[in-house]
Amino acid sequence: MNALDDDGVGSALTNIGRELSTLIDRIAGDDAAALSALADAIDDAPRIFVLAAGRSGLALRMTAMRLMHLGLEVHVVGEVTAPAIRAGDLLLTASGSGTTGNIVRAAQTAHSVGAGIAAITTAPTSPLAELASVTVVVPAAAKLDRTGAASGQYAGSLFEQMVVLLGDAVFHALWKRSGASAEELWPRHANLE
């Protein structure tokens, strides 16, 4: 037995992997149409704006980077270089509750100018989901759910992990759809690190 087993980290990693695997199977089966619609909305938009808060925001920023690697015009809302959103653009959001104030307000603004809204959320009837033209429902625990029924992990961890995986899956599908090689994408990778 090694130190990781003594601390329960190995067991925790196994449990997290099981939760993710179960959730991936469920979303890919139950929400396949929404996943395709999300990929199409991103692919069709002239510009993509990403917005989420907290850990979900960090996860969605990873997706923004990958979409930029595809050559898409992507902006992170709140960055000083982000322009105004306009008709035809897409606001890509992630909010477990679908009620996060600044995200709902941004979605209302996007809607008012004719931009599309894509939401990744646990709450299909939330204000954010109601504004969205594409909603991917992640049946994971909301951050205030401490029951352990939807996930044994703390707060919204499973949701945030799924935001990362959904972003990578959409990127991968769009990359394969594009026919571009990894070598063709590589020059867009950051070189000022």
3-class DSSP state for residue 179? Answer: coil
Burial 10-23, CB ≥16 within 10 A → b, else e: eeeeeebeebbeeb
Strands 48-52 and 134-137: unpaired
Q: Which of 73, 79, 160, 184 is catalytic?
A: 160
3-state secondary structure 79-125: CCCCCCCCCCCEEEEECCCCCCHHHHHHHHHHHHCCCEEEEEECCCC
Q: What is the CA radius of gyration of the chain?
A: 17
Known catalytic membership, residue 183: no
Q: Which residues are catalytic?
A: 160
